[in-house]
Amino acid sequence: MVTGTHPFALLDDGVTTRVVTIGDRIDGLVILAITAAGVRLADGTMLTMAATPPTGPSSPSLPFPRGRQP
C-alpha cells in the first residue's frame, strides 16, 4: 500500500494482481480509504496486508529494462 495524496494498493486475489485506488470496486464494493492499516470498503470491511507471502507457483523472472540493473 502507498498512502499520501493519491493512495493506491496492489490487490492480489491469488490469480491476478491489480493496482486499485479510492473509488475502485472490489467484488462490487467501493474502496473508501487506503491507509497504512489497510483498504477500507464501503461495507466497513478492512482488508489488511497478508502476514505471509502467498503460496503457489512463483512468477517467472523478467529481465530488467536497459539502464535499470540491480
Q: What is the pLDDT of residues 20-49, one digit of tens each?
A: 999 999 989 999 999 988 999 999 999 988
Show the cell assigned to 16: 491476478
Structural domain includes residue 59: no
Distance CA 10, CA 21 (A): 9
Model pTM score: 0.65
Residue-averaged pLDDT of the chain: 78
Residue 64 pLDDT exceeds 90: no
The number of domains in the chain is 1
Structural domain includes residue 19: yes
Domain that includes residue 20, residue range? 8-47
For residue 38, CA distances in Å to 29, 61, 64, 68 come to 15, 28, 30, 30
For the chain, where are the E strands, in sequence order? Answer: 8-12, 17-21, 25-26, 29-35, 38-41, 46-47
Structural domain includes residue 58: no
Structural domain includes residue 40: yes
Structural domain includes residue 57: no
Structural domain includes residue 43: yes
